Amino acid sequence: MSTYHTPVLLKESIDGLVVNPEGTYVDVTYGGGGHSNEILKRLKNGRLIAFDQDADSETNVHADKRLIFVRQNFIYLKNNLKYLGFGKVDGLIADLGVSSHQFDQSTRGFSYRQEGPLDMRMNMNADFSAADLINQYSVEDLRRVFWELGEVKNARKLAACINRGKADVDIDTIEVFLEVIKPCVPSINEYKYLARVFQALRIEVNQEMDALRKLLKQSVEVLGESGRLVVISYHSLEDRLVKNYIKYGDFKPVLETDIYGNRLVPFEAMNRKVIVPSQEEIDRNPRARSAKLRIAIRKPIHD
């Protein structure tokens, strides 16, 4: 498991779930099984349902009668729980982003530091890759992706550069892509710039923001009263969605109230300030540097 992916904020996130040994929990991003394994250590007769759309993650699943693994995207959370016969659950954890295994596999195309296909699909059975995106999107759509999902400052120039480049060559590998965008890459903070570019492509290819919105909406429906929502995010776009949904019950900072002025929000934040890794954890696992943890409790349900 440690070679596949080192779980981030492991103790803080699992402590935040407040695991009941007889309870029912969901890990919607199984990956290397790090967070799931820690939950299982704290369960007695309880159950854990784990989701992951990446076929590689299934190789990490250990036989345990308390564990049910579902190889699907977590956008199908509610339907699968219903199909499996589960009602409300006691806690849900999501460790968003890309696993170390996915980053390190050159054939997956997630890292600008690797040579290989320009892929970036979380689900290798999906039809649409980063190469498809680059070659099919208009210059305006490319600008939108880089500006909105990567906050790339010269998004317009980058989109135009790619648009010109793909007229001369098929941009289907990381090497070709990097060569095409070279005129747009600043000499200062080069790696930070490339990280933003690749982040934007990955988010768009996998429709990660839309998936997160669907997950948060479903979490309200599947969590029982006092159930815990635990989310680890890795960039400001994700964290903003999680923060707003916990605080306002919506993805925009708009607070709804009833006729008496009572807040109509399904969650109560358990941590006033976002939880981040210690310097010791960052030194041990540099990829934890950007992680942010938010924990919320499901407020009383009045169906």
Q: Which two tokens stand for residue 154?
A: 């010269």
Task: Yes or no: say if 122 and 201 are a contact pair by the CB < 8 Å rule.
Answer: no
Residues in contact with 163: Cβ distance below 8 Å, sequence separation at least 6, in sequence order: 138, 139, 142
Complete domains list, the chain, with CATH: 10-100+208-298 (3.40.50.150), 107-206 (1.10.150.170)
The pTM of this model reads: 0.91
Secondary structure E strands in the chain: 24-27, 47-51, 67-70, 89-95, 223-233, 267-269, 292-298
Q: Would you state the pLDDT for residue 55?
A: 82
> Looking at residue 3, what is its pLDDT?
53
Q: What is the pLDDT of residue 1?
A: 47
pLDDT means per 10 residues in the chain (303 residues)?
Answer: 73 97 97 93 97 86 93 96 96 87 75 90 91 96 97 96 94 96 94 95 96 97 97 95 93 75 84 94 92 95 57
pLDDT at 100: 67
Q: Which residue has the tokens 């076929």?
A: 55
Q: Cα 249 to chain center, whole Å?
A: 19
Residue 103 is predicted with a pLDDT of 67
pLDDT computed for residue 273 by the predictor = 92
> Which amino acid is present at 187?
S
Long-range contacts of 165-173 (CB under 8 A, 24+ apart): 166/134, 166/135, 170/135, 171/118, 171/131, 171/134, 171/135, 172/117, 172/118, 172/131, 172/135, 173/115, 173/116, 173/117, 173/118, 173/131
**What does the alpha-carbon distance between residue 214 and residue 226 come to, in Å, rounded to a whole number?**
21
Q: What is the pLDDT at residue 260?
A: 66
25's CB contacts (< 8 A; 6+ apart) are 17, 19, 39, 43, 46, 47, 48, 49, 89, 90, 91, 92, 93
Angle between helices 236-248 and 208-222 (to 10 degrees): 30
As a residue count, the chain comes to 303
Distance CA 220, CA 196 (A): 31
Cα within 13 Å of Cα(148), Cβ side: 11
Question: Which residue from 72, 25, 69, 77 is spatially nearest to 50, judged by alpha carbons?
Answer: 69
User: In the numeric block, which tokens belong to residue 293?
Assistant: 């943890």
Which tokens in the block code for residue 115? 């040579």
- How many Å apart are CA 273 and CA 59, to the nearest integer? 36
- Single-letter amino acid code for the residue at 13: S
